[in-house]
Structure 1
Amino acid sequence: MKVQSLYSTVDVHVAGEAFRIIQVPPLVRYQSLKELYERLPDTFKKERELLLNEPRGFAGLTGCLVLPPIDPRADASVLFFTHTESQPVHYGGAAAVITALLEGGFLSPRVSSQYQLETVSGLIGLSAAMKEGEVVSVQLESGPCRIIEKVSGCAPAFSLIESEGVYALLSKEEAAVEMDLAELTEWKKWGQKTLQMISGQWEVDGVIVLDESEASNGKIKSITFRKDGMIVRSPGFDATAACCAFLLAENKMSSSQTLVNESIFGSLIEAWPGEETEEGHRCKLSSRGFITGTHTAILDPTDPLPSGFLLK
């Protein structure tokens, strides 16, 4: 076997959503994190395809490029990317990165449990509680979320929620499919059809379906479809913040209430209201990451699939 390229990675899942963290990225000169972010799709095209595409990756995998910090207040800089684009912020990815840095010994634990990651959109503050060398809880606060439009008079009716992205949030009743893993095939069909309909008229980053029947008891269920049609493999940090902001705006939860969002896979993200600003409601979020493996990805120059492939 000949080796053309070699990369070390750490895989972490947060509430079921998988992240691949590149430990030793290629050496590239850059003046700012924003510059590197803008160059990422072209400069790291080979790495993105090699590490995220099948047969080494899969369609639901998100990449995290961890770098030394530029901002002196930060513990590390991080860029997030999917198979097709870069993402300014990914809260689940931030939880995955801080878990890998602390449990892997790349970052020394602090008594305060407070850390900061630098992103293109600014610093993300995290609280990472550790016990016997493991990160047992990661908490962070989302950016402001707000309802920007209510769309009725069509099927399905939905609300447009602005958070880190813009999501169409629908009630489960609009889907007429049970929030159960056994209905996954039906959800895929429904999601593709609904995304096609909504994205034809509104520019959205995804669709969130919310089951709020137990919201008064502090429990909700949700399922989130990315704009490429993939189902997010967790309740989703951004989606949970959007659900929290929606329920607050509709007076369906109190400002002192804790909310647990469950995915159809049974994974959980805990949320409670944070600061309310003119831009919308912030939401505090909590979950936990688990390291699932460390890998050395190799590209053999004779490999007939150097760019990989994706089956959706």
Structure 2
Amino acid sequence: MPSLAALGPAFALLAAVAFFATQNERFLTPQNFSLILQQVMVVGVLALGQTLIILTAGIDLSCGMIMALGGVVMAKVAADWGWSAPAAMALGLAVTTLLGALNGWLVTQWRLPSFIVTLGTLNIAFAVTQLYSRSQTITDIPEGMVWLGNTFRLGETAVAYGVVVLLLLYAVAWWALRETQPGRHVYAVGNHPEATRLVGIATHRVLFGVYVVAGALYGVAAMLSVARTGAGDPYAGQTDNLDAITAVVLGGTSLFGGRGSVMGTLLGVLIVGVFRNGLTLMGLPSIYQVLVTGILVILAVAFDNVARRGGR
């Protein structure tokens, strides 16, 4: 039987949907739900990488700015150097993956806390992004780079190709964590790293691999961001790191590691998206979205702490 921690995000999402449905008649339309998915697809991919790291009892504050750097790199080489869309996106993906590997190397080889490491790379990525782009948005990009932001018809509803990518990534991650040996090792490292090491699992290799995969996912998020906005924005992602962490925690993944699921994170992403969309439809200023998100994450962390103490 599913635990309360697993069912909690689903109940919270249903309650939020039910509430906003009573506030605006447009909320329950398929078109609005499609819009919510388009609005959260970038943060959703960032949150997937963040989930893998938090499952190992780490945290990544740099995900949003690594994504921004990847987006600027792929947009600028396409606009200034005339690279094709696939080549430009591959370079951006390589940059974010390398930064993920840098995070993993510093955490595993130098034994530095992930909070400090990723706080440092956040600032490095922000500075490099601003210097490389000269703080200018790059808009002259090839058509192929915005393809994922295009839509196809599903009945009467327009669905973005980027949303399909988001859902496929979650399906693959869910399968990998449940059905493969490396996926089970991620949970083991989060639960008890020393015991995991003693049974012969290379914990450093697992941790390094998690940060590399997360970096690659930030590159995919950069592709989706460029596709959705049609530009490489050096100011993108400045709050996406907190949004991603909020979604992970709301989805029931423990900040102490070893417990949680990517499907819970997907629910957490949808909770954030539903609240922001619903508050907008109610005509409330955007600052209320920030306020509600802050309250939700504090409540989620408090619940996680209580559940952890009760499990002892």
For Structure 1 versus Structure 2, the TM-score category normalised by the shorter chain is under 0.3
Query: Which structure dedicates a bigger proportion of its chain to helix?
Result: 2
The structure with the largest strand share of the pair is 1
| TM-score normalised according to structure 1 size | 0.26
Report the TM-score, using the length of structure 2 for normalisation: 0.26
